Amino acid sequence: MKIAVLSESPADEAALFVLLQGLRDATMARVFLPTPKTRGWHAVLGLLRPTLIHLHYETDAEGLVVTVDSDESPVHQRAHEQPGGALASCRLCELRRVVAAVQSSLRARQGRGPLKVAAGLAVPAVEAWYLARLDPHVTESTWIQAMQARRLPYTKHELKRRVYGTDRPSLVLEEECATRHARQLVETGGLPLLERLFPSGFGALADAVRTW
């Protein structure tokens, strides 16, 4: 299966592809996207529409996986899945809204079905996923409770330091560490743990990918 990956960093995209291979198919092939000028949540949101159009009409990609960090925005909840329950400030809801709007406007691809799309939300950042085997206290539920109490148990900078050894890694170091953690999760059977610790952000993504 040929898929593309869109996220806030090329290092995250490389690591996410490793996780996807563990979830779905080790022979999965990656379709590379044009290099964006900027990164981050707003950049990904802005790129999503042209990326969907590009993949649909100009490539043989069968799927797209898109992920962003939640930072301190609301964490996705089951209530958001109900009719009329989508939350504008929830980044996963917003990604799904854009996907639905774009796909409804695309012409059918001759001989092929519509592009499959799965979206994920890393709480509060993708580095938390990489630490799933190493720290059981870095979880979605911990972050949600901390947000409610307004006492954060860790910051994105702290998570980065634990994963990369610095909160300002070079892109080379970032990709090396991120993909190593991703491979270790796959090779040690850590994906079910990752889904349990991050059910709304990674679990929902994994469920969607497995249906492809």
- Domains of the chain by residue range: 2-210
**Percent of the chain residues topping a pLDDT of 70:** 97
Strand pairing category for 116-122 and 63-69: parallel
Mean pLDDT, the chain, whole residue set: 92
Q: Please tell me the predicted confidence (pLDDT) of residue 100.
A: 94
pLDDT tens figures, 123-134 = 999 999 999 999
- Asked whether the CA dihedral 183, 124, 199, 1 is positive or negative, the reply is negative
pLDDT for residue 204 is more than 80: yes
- Asked whether the CA dihedral 126, 123, 159, 37 is positive or negative, the reply is positive
Q: Please tell me the predicted confidence (pLDDT) of residue 79.
A: 65
State the pLDDT confidence band at 109, using cuts at 50, 70 and 90. Answer: confident
pLDDT tens figures, 142-155 = 999 998 888 889 99
pLDDT tens figures, 15-58 = 999 999 999 877 789 999 988 877 899 999 999 999 999 999 99
Tally the residues of the chain.
212
Of residues 78 and 18, more confidence is placed in 18
Q: Which of 25-29, 68-72, 156-160, 187-191 has the lowest mean pLDDT?
A: 25-29
Q: Please tell me the predicted confidence (pLDDT) of residue 88.
A: 76
**Cα–Cα distance, 100 to 71 (Å, whole number):** 24
Q: What is the pTM of this model?
A: 0.91
Q: Please tell me the predicted confidence (pLDDT) of residue 85.
A: 67
**Cα–Cα distance, 34 to 51 (Å, whole number):** 9
Q: Please tell me the predicted confidence (pLDDT) of residue 78.
A: 73
